[in-house]
Structure 1
Amino acid sequence: MSAAQTFRAVRTLTLLTLGATMLTACGTADRLANIGKAPALSAIEDPSRNPNYQPVRLPMPEAPVVDRQANSLWRAGSRAFFKDQRAARVGDILTVNIQINDRAQLQNRTQRTRNGTDSLGIPNLFGLEASTNNILPNSVDPANLISTNGTSTSNGDGQIQRQEQINLQVAALIVQVLPNGNMVVQGKQEVRVNYEVRELMLTGIIRPEDITSANTISYEKIAEARISYGGRGNVSELQQPRWGQQVLEVINPF
């Protein structure tokens, strides 16, 4: 490598390092300012005011026309005769039970072997085989012009083992009621223990009839469910590679 190429390589690496440093400067400054302090909890806020919040819009049937009958306690479209305390309106709270116990084990194995042999010759061709010495070397036998052999072997073995288990409960808030009566719920829970914050976030669509009399619902009855369980703090930071290592893993082609 010439001196010019070495200089360009060093300059490129320097620029990449400076760029990565600028991108992480704000995060580094915040971490330095919070040394010795516990991670801060997020403030309680209106989910609909989040810049990333988007109301759910799905194809819905037409809203039924309410026909009120005189001298009748029943109203068309009502789901029950007596009102209960289960969540039904925007702002109501219900409990979501999350009990995930998934286990998957897959194993695939493939083995393939193929052998092939081909032989081609022209011992007789309208008497022209006698003149092959004029075209081909004398050592060529017309009866054995072409001979091929082929062998192919393929072996494959794959195995996947996965097991996940989560047992949690979180209170979710109804943030939207869809025209067909289904409700959009969203919940967030943060717990701080010994300088480590655990976060649980949940969102999805539920049916009112799936809510139990105890005002709870199981996670498998939530459509379009999005469940996130993670954390931040000293332990979480130790489990992540340093930003320099992450940059090298991205730009290193080998």
Structure 2
Amino acid sequence: MTTSILRTLLATGLIGLLAACAQTPRNAENSDEQWESVAPPAASQATNTSGSIYQAGYGMSLFLDRRARQVGDVITILLEEKTDASKSSSTATGKDSSISIPAVTLFGRGVTHNGQPVLTSGVSSEQDFSGQGSSSQSNSLTGSITVTVSDVLRNGSLRVRGEKWVTINQGEEFIRIRGIIRPEDIGADNSVPSYKVADARITYSGKGALADANSMGWLSRLFQSVLSPF
């Protein structure tokens, strides 16, 4: 009876674990709604009033700056990300100590045996330690992505966000970016380098058969986690 109950509990726990792994909730931070483009607000229809010189709908913008400045405007972000980091350390310590106790004397004379002093003692210790460590990391990301302005802050800065998907054979690759840019940093070609994007969040990843083949299985991740007893 006890063995049957134990087997039932183990089977139930295994089924629950598999169901939890199969139905992992999507993180709201990585949901598609967080990266969707923003459309400009609908403009109200003004009543056309014919004038002797100016007529609505027939104006010419001779000096209009075409750079992004309103919600819904598009802007191109040039991805120029490159970082290099390295660190090394070395430590060496040493310590030597010794204690000696002289021979015991009895009635003013040392205690000897066969001419050699007895009851002498000494203690000595030696400690050495050395350690070395090094770490290095580098990454690089180049390209471009065109995004939309999602909000205009009080100080005039623009909050932008957007994504770009590329489907190749059985896999999909996407680039997502969002952050805050200054209008002063926007170039004449309506572009801004990514290193001038404040509070930037850049994601470059993929989905599909190729991405799944490069991912570790849930059982392997379990043995690599802190919960593994091995």
The corresponding residue for 1:156 is 132
The residue identity in structure 1 corresponding to 2:205 is G
Structure 2 regions of 5+ residues with no counterpart? 25-31, 39-62, 112-116
Structure 1 residues 245, 149: closer, same or farther in 2, change over 3 A?
A: closer
Matches within 5 A, 1:203-222: 203-222=178-197
The alignment status of 1:102 with 2:77, answered yes or no, reads no
**Which residue, out of 98, 105, 124, partners 1:118?**
98
Structure 1 regions of 5+ residues with no counterpart? 28-41, 49-81
The Cα shift of 1:203 comes to: 0.6
Percent pairwise identity = 23
The Cα shift of 1:253 comes to: 1.1
Q: CA RMSD in A?
A: 3.7
Structure 1 residues 217, 103: closer, same or farther in 2, change over 3 A?
A: same
The Cα shift of 1:186 comes to: 0.4
* TM-score (structure 1 length as normaliser): 0.62
The Cα shift of 1:184 comes to: 0.6
Mapped to 1, the partners of 2:118 and 2:103 lie a distance apart of: 14
- Matched residue count: 191
SS at match of 1:158: strand
CA contact (8 A) 1:20 1:247 kept: no
The alignment status of 1:224 with 2:199, answered yes or no, reads yes
* TM-score (structure 2 length as normaliser): 0.68
Output one character per residue of 1:187-223: Cα deviation in whole Å (capped at 9) or x when no partner. 1111111121111110111001111111111101111
Mapped to 1, the partners of 2:125 and 2:35 lie a distance apart of: 74
CA contact (8 A) 1:203 1:227 kept: yes
Mapped to 2, the partners of 1:24 and 1:150 lie a distance apart of: 54
The Cα shift of 1:12 comes to: 6.9
The corresponding residue for 1:36 is none
Query: Which has more strand, going by share of residues?
Result: 2
Structure 1 residues 184, 84: closer, same or farther in 2, change over 3 A?
A: same
